[in-house]
Amino acid sequence: MKKYTLALAVAALSFTAVIQAKTVDAVASFSVLGDIVKQVGGEHVAVKSLVGANGDPHTFEPTPQDGLALSKANVVFVSGLGMEGWMDRLISASGYKGKVVVASDGVSSRSMDEDGKQVTDPHAWNSMKNGVIYAQNVMNALIAADPQDAEYFRQHGGAYIEKLRKLDSWAEQTFKAIPVAKRKVLTSHDAFGYFGQRYGVTFLSPVGFSTEAEASAGDVARLIQQLKQEKIHTYFIENQTDPRLVKQIASASGAKPGGELYPEALSDKGGDAATYTQAFEHNVKVLAASMK
């Protein structure tokens, strides 16, 4: 009889633990941010990324299913800084009334020229120093959404943030070992401003921050001339953009291919950049290898 009573007590405790364990239903605007939420939240979060692997967040067109996912979410994460021009309309259409967390809050933003106008560069996560800020904001938001698992988020998120800090330091040291004159590359569009600012790398591109922008014939001619003058020998394509223009420019300037970069979209599972940290490590390694 005592054994039966004990078994019932254990079963009741287990059932209570299951009832108390909470999973936060989160929606993130794009794959990089979605992975940060997943890494911080661990087993207590289920994440849907609206813009998936290899997807372009600039040209993304939401579907009714995306609106449905938002309507069921406990918390929504966006990068901010003008990155998701389509998000406000989607949130309004979905009827979502909860918290919208801007992961870039606290980042020192930079400006860039876009068709003769000064605009805010939205690609802040490409500096791992900013990645730490993103992860801290995500951790605090998950604690607010699920206070009973606050200690889990602090431990899990804290370990992840420490990993990001180490990657930031590693990237700094990697590029410091390369002469400044060699730290120059050509990319498809201007997505590496924060990376360049943080790690001392100069990036040239035919179009601005948005992949929707188009380069004029004059812009292309000036860029080709600049590449020749500055002796920039390497170009990179990006997994979420059409590579034809950058290949054309490279051919005219004599630049050779350096590989593929992942500035704003992760790869599929099993690829070179299936997570945020893998994407960052990959970008640093292939860029540095091209400069040596």
pTM over 0.85: no
Tens digit of each residue's pLDDT (9 = 90 or more) over 196-208: 999 999 887 654 4
Q: What is the rounded distance in angstroms from the CA atom of residue 210 to the CA atom of residue 57?
A: 9
Contact between 123 and 98 (Cβ < 8 Å): no
Q: Which residues, including other chains, have CB under 8 Å from residue 207's CB and lie 6 or more apart?
A: 188, 189, 190, 213, 214, 215, 245
Q: What is the rounded distance in angstroms from the CA atom of residue 14 to the CA atom of residue 41?
A: 22
Q: Percent of the chain scored above 90 by pLDDT?
A: 60
The pLDDT, as a whole number, for residue 22 is 81
Partners of 189 in the beta sheet? 207
Tens digit of each residue's pLDDT (9 = 90 or more) over 16-30: 444 455 899 999 999
Question: Nearest-CA neighbor of 211 among 193, 192, 194, 189?
Answer: 189
The pLDDT, as a whole number, for residue 28 is 98
Give, as one character, the DSSP assignment of residue 189: B
The residue ranges of the chain whose pLDDT is under 50 are: 1-4, 6-19, 207-213
Question: Domains (ranges, CATH) in the chain?
Answer: 21-169 (3.40.50.1980), 178-291 (3.40.50.1980)
The pLDDT, as a whole number, for residue 88 is 92
Q: What's the full length of the chain, in residues?
A: 292
The pLDDT, as a whole number, for residue 209 is 40
The pLDDT, as a whole number, for residue 279 is 97
Residue 1 three-state SS? coil
Q: What is the rounded distance in angstroms from the CA atom of residue 174 to the CA atom of residue 128?
A: 14
The tokens of 224 are what?
A: 């080709």
